Amino acid sequence: MTTFTNIPKQIEEAIEKWQGTTSRRDFLKNSGMFVVSFSAAAMSTASLLGPAASAQNSPPTPVAGPYPDPDFRKLDSWIVIHEDSTATFYVGKTDGGQGTGTGFRQLMADELDIAFDKTNLIMGATDITVDQGGSGGSDAIETDGWPARRVAAEARRVLLEMASARLGVPVDQLAVSDGVITVKANPSMKVTYGELIGGKRFNVTLTGNNINATTGVAKLKPVGDLKIVGQSPQRYDIPAKVDGSLKWAVDAKAPGMVHARNVRPSVAGAQLISIDESSVRGIPGFIKVVSKGNYVAVVCEREEQAIRAARQLKVNWQKPATPSFPTSENLFDYMRNAKPTSVVQSRTQTPDVMGDPDAALASAAKVIEAEYDFPFQGHTALGPAHAMADPSNGQMTIWSNDMKAYGLRTGVAEFLGMPRDSVRVIWQEGPQLYGRTAADDAGFEAAYLAKEIGRPVRVQWMRHEETAWDAKGPAFTFKLRGGLDAQGNVVALEYLARTADYNHIGYNEPDTVLIAQLMGRRPKEPAPGGASPPSEMYVIPNRRRTTEVVGMPLVWESPLRVANLRDPNGPQITFAGESFIDEMAVAAKVDPLEFRLRLLTASTVDDEDFLRARSIAVVKAAAAAYGWDTRPSPKPVGTGKILSGRGIAYCYRSQTVVAEIAEVEVNRETGHIWVKRLVCAHDCGLIVNPEAVRRTIEGNLLHGLSRTLYEEVQFDTEKVTSVDWITHPTLRHSDTPAQVDVVLVNGDPNPNRPDLPPYGAGEAAIKPTAAAVANAIYDATGVRLRRVPFRDKRVLAALKVARV
């Protein structure tokens, strides 16, 4: 089983049969060659013949390239109907394990009128799937689902016309169900999709100025007519993930493939002085040390040899003259005192200044103020970065788990100075994307090394490398001030955020990925960075919101490289915003849920997306699911070892609205926090697959919990010191809540409005978790934690100071 994901099962089975007759090593060599060449052939013919047909066809020949973009204005680029009336869909998305692919199959099968299990889906191979940009921003279903639905509807329309011609009956007298078109008046007269077009091309041209606008002339079905959308077919990718048969990007092999490992600078910002190649020359299988600027890699025949060589290579580095970082302990003082690189205009519906916050604060009956800190956090995917690149035929094929496979293709072409059509990326499944692979460092490295060596190269980062050098979510520090009148109404809110978002690396940019930075290739200016203020619908008459960006002393070649980490700034800003709302509720002596509802219901005017009405609905739904007991926080501190409490936080992300309630147990002897129960009410509009959404939210909630309780990138003045799962702890099985309740809300309370479209569900739920937990800890103990994460030691110290 040395094959790739896109290989038809029949071929895999055929290869399997060889195993008994060939020696293992020969088998690998031969089958590797067979498979790589076939994978190209299978995919290029797949658009015409489909998997079943191509498997039975004549021997494979390699597709030598070039690999021009599939034309999104051709129906055949999206949908192939096979002779057996099954369909294969081709979409330019990738799936991070949230069931995106299953969702697309549901949407497209529904419009095409074909059973879900008679469909198949190919994603993210740049030469055979149209460029929908891959994944990012939780927009797969929300944005890219629309053209996918429209092309499926168009295919159905064309098939009905063909049936009409074949059966001699007007289209309006035909019915279609599950790929069979029948004459309404005489159901014995029928024809199947396969009979009409199986194995042949549609040759239908679509219109649209860009891929998102792609359309035929067919109309979409009204939501009420959708049958597969709203059901929960099991995710098609799961069986192969469970039985070991899935071929991941980590599994990619090619004949003659060699293994590379990177050797990173000893400390951040170090300059390469010299390499002593004799230190590794004796290692069996050693091929080469490749270096340019401060980028260094070793290449060996076998993987374990490359690991050994990377460890053993003697490199002389010169440390930078000045410290690269404040330490992680001093980070927030540094950020508060640094000179901002820019002040950001917020990008929300609310203006930066409303009313007269200064006057309102000056005349308020009570003014409260608080500062919050949120550290750098890494992606620290379970599997470190990896990719395999094959330079055969003067082209470059990259097997990668890059969520933005199309951007990787363009970026690599530019990086290597190759024509774009000579590069293709074949996306395969990998460890959590969540923004990490939007700039696929390993993909660039593999391609560079493959070009240097002239053989296929597999790059695999090591654990210490990934944890220290992966892309980071930016640290934030906040200062909030709020004014209350004598009745406890919020009259003013001032929000000041500082984010270490300077020099954000973007998406597969050929001058910001790590290898480019280390080689000294970089843009003229670092990206300025930025962030939005908290997204909530509270009615507060006087407000000021300011976000400032600060940079670290070391700007380039830094392991504190900022990038998008699952809702790039949401957990940070919502931690500050929703902790502070709680602090104001305490000052007003009002139940925190009641306090939020008052702020949400202070207006009766609808906004465009009904966010206000939907916010109220999710807050109420969370309260009902939890069984909220109305009372101000904190509750009287108990006498036992375990103190318990509950907290709420709410926010929205684009059009998705979320409210979360955490119930915590605080061990006053150890400082350990256990979040015993989490409730999340979640409104993301139309839901395509409720069970898949539920699980995505569950994982997202616990991801938020991990970031709240444990995650912090630690560093001294010269390097990141978080390098493995001991120095960078993560949530574990023993931390899992005893109960997680996800309430899927359709929160628009007005039945006269049109149905909501689907909105993103991949990120919103991670935003309020830290605040909900902090608010619950306050409720339990009367101690306010204003710095994430809440590791035992920090919690215990705070409890001691407060004499709890």
- Footprint on residues 214-253 left by ligand FES (CB under 6 A): none
Q: How near is the Cβ of 306 to ligand FES at its closest, in Å?
A: 16
Tell me if the bond preceding 541 is cis, omega within 30° of 0.
no
For residue 555, what are the contacts with CB-CB under 8 A and spacing of at least 6? 502, 503, 526
Return the CA Rg of the chain. 28
**97 or 782: CB nearest ligand FES:** 97
Nearest Cα residue to 567 out of 660, 504, 638, 652 = 652
Q: How near is the Cβ of 386 to other proteins at its closest, in Å?
A: 8
Binding mask 511-530 for other proteins (x = CB under 8 A): --------------------
755, 760, 765, 768 alpha-carbon torsion, rounded to 10°: -90
- Specify whether the CB–CB gap between 187 and 53 falls below 8 A: no
- Specify whether the CB–CB gap between 696 and 762 falls below 8 A: yes
Q: Is 691 one of the binding residues for other proteins (CB under 8 A)?
A: yes
Cβ neighbourhood burial of 246 (10 Å; 0-12, 13-18, 19+): middle
Q: How near is the Cβ of 206 to other proteins at its closest, in Å?
A: 33
**380 or 644: CB nearest other proteins:** 380
- Residue sitting closest to ligand FES (CB): 382
Q: How near is the Cβ of 626 to other proteins at its closest, in Å?
A: 17
Q: Residue 774 has which token pair?
A: 């902090």
**302 or 753: CB nearest ligand FES:** 302
Q: How near is the Cβ of 697 to other proteins at its closest, in Å?
A: 11
Residue 714's binding partner, choosing from ligand FES, other proteins, none, with beta-carbon cut-off 5 to 8 A by kind?
none
Q: Is 802 one of the binding residues for ligand FES (CB under 6 A)?
A: no
Q: Is 51 one of the binding residues for ligand FES (CB under 6 A)?
A: no
**63 or 381: CB nearest other proteins:** 381
For residue 734, what are the contacts with CB-CB under 8 A and spacing of at least 6? none
Q: Is 100 one of the binding residues for ligand FES (CB under 6 A)?
A: no
Q: Is 97 one of the binding residues for ligand FES (CB under 6 A)?
A: yes
**431 or 456: CB nearest ligand FES:** 431
Residue 339's binding partner, choosing from other proteins, ligand FES, none, with beta-carbon cut-off 5 to 8 A by kind?
none
**13 or 606: CB nearest other proteins:** 13
CA distance linking residue 314 with residue 298, whole number of Å: 11
CA distance linking residue 436 with residue 381, whole number of Å: 8
Residue 486's binding partner, choosing from ligand FES, other proteins, none, with beta-carbon cut-off 5 to 8 A by kind?
none
**99 or 216: CB nearest other proteins:** 99
Residue 785's binding partner, choosing from ligand FES, other proteins, none, with beta-carbon cut-off 5 to 8 A by kind?
none
**97 or 483: CB nearest ligand FES:** 97
CA distance linking residue 381 with residue 361, whole number of Å: 45
Cβ neighbourhood burial of 528 (10 Å; 0-12, 13-18, 19+): middle
> Of the candidates 273, 605, 726, 801, which one interacts with other proteins according to CB under 8 A?
726
Q: Is 103 one of the binding residues for ligand FES (CB under 6 A)?
A: no
Question: Which H or E run contains 190?
Answer: strand 186-192
- Footprint on residues 376-395 left by other proteins (CB under 8 A): 380-384
Q: How near is the Cβ of 110 to ligand FES at its closest, in Å?
A: 28
- Please state at what angle helix 769-781 crosses helix 690-709, rounded to 10 degrees: 60
Q: Is 304 one of the binding residues for other proteins (CB under 8 A)?
A: yes
Q: How near is the Cβ of 97 to ligand FES at its closest, in Å?
A: 6
**97 or 435: CB nearest ligand FES:** 97
> Of the candidates 432, 503, 558, 769, which one interacts with ligand FES according to CB under 6 A?
432
Question: How far, in Å, are 516, 584, 631, 659, 693 from residue 623 at the CA level?
Answer: 50, 20, 13, 9, 21
Q: What is the DSSP string of 539-560?
A: --SEEEEEEEE---S--SS-S-
By CB under 8 A, which span of 205-213, 548-556, 589-597, 700-708 interacts with other proteins? 700-708
For residue 61, what are the contacts with CB-CB under 8 A and spacing of at least 6? 37, 41
CA distance linking residue 218 with residue 176, whole number of Å: 15
CA distance linking residue 158 with residue 193, whole number of Å: 10
> Of the candidates 21, 59, 210, 242, which one interacts with other proteins according to CB under 8 A?
242
- Footprint on residues 119-178 left by other proteins (CB under 8 A): none
- Footprint on residues 63-122 left by other proteins (CB under 8 A): 96-98
> Of the candidates 74, 247, 264, 719, which one interacts with other proteins according to CB under 8 A?
247
For 687, which DSSP code?
A: -
Q: How near is the Cβ of 432 to other proteins at its closest, in Å?
A: 5
Q: Is 382 one of the binding residues for ligand FES (CB under 6 A)?
A: yes
> Of the candidates 83, 594, 735, 792, which one interacts with other proteins according to CB under 8 A?
735
Nearest Cα residue to 680 out of 646, 724, 634, 648 = 648
- Specify whether the CB–CB gap between 652 and 570 falls below 8 A: no
Q: Where are the alpha helices (DSSP H) in 346-402?
A: 357-363
**411 or 737: CB nearest ligand FES:** 737
Q: Is 692 one of the binding residues for other proteins (CB under 8 A)?
A: yes
> Of the candidates 191, 246, 354, 367, which one interacts with other proteins according to CB under 8 A?
246
Antiparallel, parallel or unpaired: β 271-276 and 342-344 = unpaired
Q: How near is the Cβ of 702 to other proteins at its closest, in Å?
A: 3
Q: Residue 173 has which token pair?
A: 């007298």
**428 or 432: CB nearest ligand FES:** 432
Residue 301's binding partner, choosing from other proteins, ligand FES, none, with beta-carbon cut-off 5 to 8 A by kind?
none
Nearest Cα residue to 396 out of 384, 404, 380, 408 = 408
Q: Is 430 one of the binding residues for other proteins (CB under 8 A)?
A: yes
How many residues sit close enough to ligand FES to count as binding (CB under 6 A)?
A: 4
Q: How near is the Cβ of 671 to other proteins at its closest, in Å?
A: 19
For residue 804, what are the contacts with CB-CB under 8 A and spacing of at least 6? 637, 643, 668, 781, 782, 783
By CB under 8 A, which span of 53-61, 426-434, 438-446, 530-538 interacts with other proteins? 426-434
**98 or 126: CB nearest ligand FES:** 98
Q: Is 30 one of the binding residues for other proteins (CB under 8 A)?
A: no
> Of the candidates 56, 177, 245, 274, which one interacts with other proteins according to CB under 8 A?
245
Measured in whole angstroms, how far is the alpha carbon of residue 677 from the centre of its chain? Answer: 25
3-state secondary structure 272-336: EEEEEHHHCCCCCCEEEEEEECCEEEEEECCHHHHHHHHHHCEEEEECCCCCCCCCCCCHHHHHH
DSSP-based three-state secondary structure for 762: coil
Q: Is 303 one of the binding residues for other proteins (CB under 8 A)?
A: yes
Nearest Cα residue to 104 out of 44, 53, 150 = 150
Q: Is 282 one of the binding residues for other proteins (CB under 8 A)?
A: no
Residues at the interface with ligand FES (CB under 6 A): 97, 382, 431-432
Residues that bind other proteins (CB under 8 A): 1-2, 24-25, 28, 96-98, 232, 234-235, 237-239, 241-248, 250-251, 284, 302-304, 307, 380-384, 429-433, 460, 462-463, 691-692, 694-696, 698-703, 705-706, 724-726, 730-738, 740
